[in-house]
């Protein structure tokens, strides 16, 4: 229990290391609605051409992490779920309190807490919507999104994968993390969402705005990710795949129906959007299946044997939300990137002005 609590506290602060950025008019009010009890009479809604109709807004916000914490099984016990969700609820309640307008300035260098809500004072919890439930799949409450391998962990890297990771680290270390805008994370630069929200694979960011709009036409399925208003258009009719040099940020997605399951294969990922250090050969296979009026079961497989010692797969629910998604205009109000870089330049000037130590 104690161990669980520690882990959950850590998960509650998984936003640590995500630097704050400016975002106007994001869907802070748009929390996922809780799934309603399944009705026996539910029939799959269908488009005019007879396929399941996924259209509308969905959220994949959840507390369930990608990888399974050590010492846990795939399915959580009801007691574990209650305990974890209570810790999250208590944390939310604590952090959602009104800020004290008379509080003093935070101590120089921050108060030691981590995350966007802590340190020198950032978001309070009003702004954060990190998911407050453990994911449910087939009635099972899940400890991790990854289900294959069975330990719920990203499989080991191949030798080539390790070499590439080392090379990336060497390239990263050539610069200080605040030297150039290009050294900052994609989300902070308003290029892509935190984590792998837009994907594919489309994963929760454990922070906010885990929201999507689906539109289906006879030739396309379009999935718009709220962060950073990225529309991925999946081709449902045979269209030539992109030539090798064209590598869009979310890759090149082609779909087909296998019965009532939408299957999407994506290749040609942008070099800076290769999931978990994958290679140019990365192929992501996604499967969308509606299991009730409020739930799409989303499964994905990462296929890149030049990087991972085996294919690996995960699953999580997308929950229907009956609310609007607002514009996520990030770059237009991105004062933070200027401030982060100029803050570092100021620190360098201060350091240079100090007399050398005797």
Segment interacting with other proteins (CB under 8 A) among 34-42, 98-106, 122-130, 333-341: 333-341
Residue 215 lies near other proteins (rule: CB under 8 A): yes
Residue 188 lies near other proteins (rule: CB under 8 A): no
Q: How far is the CB of 120 from other proteins (least distance, A)?
A: 20
Residue 22 lies near other proteins (rule: CB under 8 A): no
- The encoded tokens of residue 290 equal 């509606």
Helix axes 78-95, 2-12, angle to 10 degrees: 50
Segment interacting with other proteins (CB under 8 A) among 94-102, 163-171, 300-308, 319-327: 319-327
Q: Torsion over CA of 167, 253, 196 and 222, rounded to 10 degrees?
A: 160
Strand partners, 58: 212, 320
- The encoded tokens of residue 267 equal 């290749």
> Prior bond to 148 cis, omega within 30?
no
Tell me the number of residues near other proteins by CB under 8 A.
Answer: 50
Nearer to other proteins, 256 or 270 (CB): 270
**Whole-number Å distance between alpha carbons of 78 and 80:** 5
Nearer to other proteins, 220 or 311 (CB): 220
99 three-state secondary structure = coil
Sole binder of other proteins in the list 44, 166, 176, 322 (CB under 8 A): 176
Segment interacting with other proteins (CB under 8 A) among 36-44, 95-103, 214-222, 291-299: 214-222
Residue 100 lies near other proteins (rule: CB under 8 A): no
Closest residue by Cα to residue 206 from 130, 95, 116: 130
Helix (H) or strand (E) holding 88: helix 78-95
Nearer to other proteins, 46 or 162 (CB): 46
Q: Binding to other proteins (CB under 8 A): which residues in 46-75?
A: 47-48, 53, 55-56
Sole binder of other proteins in the list 140, 163, 167, 332 (CB under 8 A): 332
- The burial of 272, by beta-carbon neighbours within 10 Å (0-12 exposed, 13-18 middle, 19 or more buried), is given as exposed
**Whole-number Å distance between alpha carbons of 343 and 60:** 35
Q: Binding to other proteins (CB under 8 A): which residues in 233-252?
A: 233, 235, 239-240, 246, 248-249
Buried-state track 162-171, b at ≥16 Cβ within 10 A, e below 16: eebeeeeeee
Question: Contact residues for other proteins (CB under 8 A)?
Answer: 24-25, 47-48, 53, 55-56, 176, 178-182, 189-191, 213, 215-220, 222, 224, 228-231, 233, 235, 239-240, 246, 248-249, 324-327, 329, 331-332, 337-338, 341-342, 344-345, 348
């Amino acid at each position: 229990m104690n161990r669980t609590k520690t882990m959950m506290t850590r998960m509650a602060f998984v936003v640590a290391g995500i630097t704050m950025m400016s975002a106007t008019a994001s869907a802070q009010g748009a929390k996922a609605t809780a799934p309603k009890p399944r009705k026996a009479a539910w029939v799959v809604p269908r488009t005019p051409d007879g396929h399941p109709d996924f259209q509308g807004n969905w959220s994949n916000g959840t507390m369930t992490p990608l990888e399974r914490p050590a010492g846990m099984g795939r399915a959580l016990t009801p007691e574990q779920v209650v305990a974890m969700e209570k810790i999250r609820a208590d944390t939310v309640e604590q952090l959602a309190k009104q800020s004290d307008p008379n509080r003093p300035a935070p101590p120089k260098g921050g108060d030691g807490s981590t995350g966007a809500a802590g340190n020198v004072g950032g978001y309070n919890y009003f702004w954060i919507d990190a998911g407050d439930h453990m994911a449910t799949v087939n009635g099972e409450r899940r400890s991790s999104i990854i289900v294959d391998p069975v330990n719920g962990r990203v499989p080991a890297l191949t030798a080539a994968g390790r070499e590439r990771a080392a090379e990336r680290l060497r390239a990263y270390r050539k610069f200080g993390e605040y030297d150039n805008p290009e050294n900052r994370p994609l989300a902070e630069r308003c290029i892509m969402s935190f984590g792998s929200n837009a994907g594919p694979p489309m994963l929760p960011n454990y922070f906010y705005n885990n929201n999507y709009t689906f539109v289906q036409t006879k030739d396309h399925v379009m999935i718009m990710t709220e962060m950073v208003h990225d529309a991925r258009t999946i081709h449902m009719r045979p269209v030539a795949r992109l030539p090798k040099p064209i590598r869009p940020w979310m890759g090149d997605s082609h779909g087909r129906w296998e019965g009532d399951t939408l299957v999407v294969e994506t290749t040609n990922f942008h070099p800076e959007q290769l999931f978990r250090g994958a290679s140019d050969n990365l192929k992501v296979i996604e499967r969308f299946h509606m299991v009730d009026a409020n739930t799409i079961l989303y499964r994905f497989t990462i296929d890149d044997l030049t990087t991972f010692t085996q294919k690996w797969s995960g699953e999580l629910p997308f929950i229907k939300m009956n609310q609007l998604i607002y514009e996520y205009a990030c770059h237009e109000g991105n004062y933070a990137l200027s401030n982060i870089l100029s803050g570092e330049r100021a620190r360098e000037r201060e350091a240079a002005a100090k007399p050398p130590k005797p």
